[in-house]
Amino acid sequence: MDYSDKIIVISGGGSGIGWALTEGFARAGGQVFVLEINEETANQMIGKAGLQGQVKCLQCDVSKQQNVLSCVADIIQSTGQIDILVNNAGISHIGTAISTTEEELDRVYQVNIKGVYNCLHCVLPYMVNQKSGVILNMASIAASLGLADRFAYSLSKGAVLTMTYQVARDYIQDGIRCNSISPARVHTPFVDGYLKKNYPGREEEMFEALSKTQPIGRMGRPEEVADLALYLCSEKASFITGTDYPIDGGFIRL
| Exposure b/e, 65-74, CB count within 10 A at least 16 = b | bebbeebbee
Work out whether the CA dihedral 145, 246, 190, 212 comes out positive or negative.
positive
Residues 83, 132 contacting (CB under 8 angstroms): yes
Q: What is the C-alpha separation between 36 and 147, in angstroms, rounded?
A: 28
Contact call for residues 91 and 138 (beta carbons, < 8 A): no
Count of Cβ atoms closer than 10 Å to residue 125 Cβ: 11
| Burial of residue 236 (number of CB atoms within 10 Å: 0-12, 13-18, 19+) | exposed
Check if 153 is active-site.
yes
DSSP 8-state symbol, 254: -
Q: Which residues pair with 55 in a beta bridge?
A: 32
Report the side by side order of strands in the sheet with 244-247.
55-59, 31-36, 7-11, 84-87, 133-138, 176-183, 244-247
Catalytic residue among 3, 109, 126, 153: 153
Q: Which of 100, 109, 24 is nearest to 62 (CA)?
A: 109
- 55 contacts: CB under 8 Å, gap ≥ 6: 22, 26, 32, 33, 34, 46
**What CA–CA distance (Å, rounded) separates 244 from 254?**
18
Which residues are tagged catalytic? 153
